[in-house]
């Protein structure tokens, strides 16, 4: 009998590694919970659970699928942090031309 090996980035990470990845990526790319919801396909409610303390009853583990979808968005350069005219960061959905 053979063991099933992880086939995606998210599946190869532990739960702690996935939450660290999501938090660090959100911080480095200035992604809001709304941005993460758009890029991962999860609700803002679920994403808020990823950012709560692990001792909280609201805490949720980051699914492998969320990491994989965010990695795809990063690789396709759909996640571009830029400054708006008001100086506030926002995210473009399409690569800059």
Q: Rounded to whole angstroms, how far apart are CA atoms 46 and 89?
A: 23
Q: What is the pLDDT of residues 38-82, one digit of tens each?
A: 999 999 999 999 999 989 999 999 999 999 999 998 888 666 544
User: Cα angle at 24 between 20 and 26, to 5 degrees?
Assistant: 120
State the pLDDT at residue 80: 56
Cα-atom radius of gyration of the chain, to the nearest Å? 15
Residues of the chain with pLDDT > 90, as a percent, come to 58
- List the end-to-end C-alpha distance of the chain, in Å, as a whole number: 51
Q: Rounded to whole angstroms, how far apart are CA atoms 92 and 15?
A: 29
pTM exceeds 0.85, yes or no? no
Domain ranges of the chain: 9-92
Q: In the CATH scheme, what is the code of domain 9-92?
A: 1.10.260
């Amino acid at each position: 009998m053979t063991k099933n090996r992880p086939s995606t980035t998210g599946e190869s990470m532990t739960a702690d590694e996935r939450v660290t990845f999501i938090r660090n990526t959100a911080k480095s790319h200035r992604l809001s919970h709304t941005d993460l919801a758009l890029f991962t396909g999860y609700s803002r409610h679920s994403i808020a659970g990823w950012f709560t303390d692990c001792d909280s009853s609201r805490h949720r583990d980051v699914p492998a699928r969320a990491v994989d979808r965010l990695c795809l968005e990063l690789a396709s350069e759909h996640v571009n942090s830029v400054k708006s005219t008001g100086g506030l960061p926002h995210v473009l959905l399409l690569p800059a031309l």
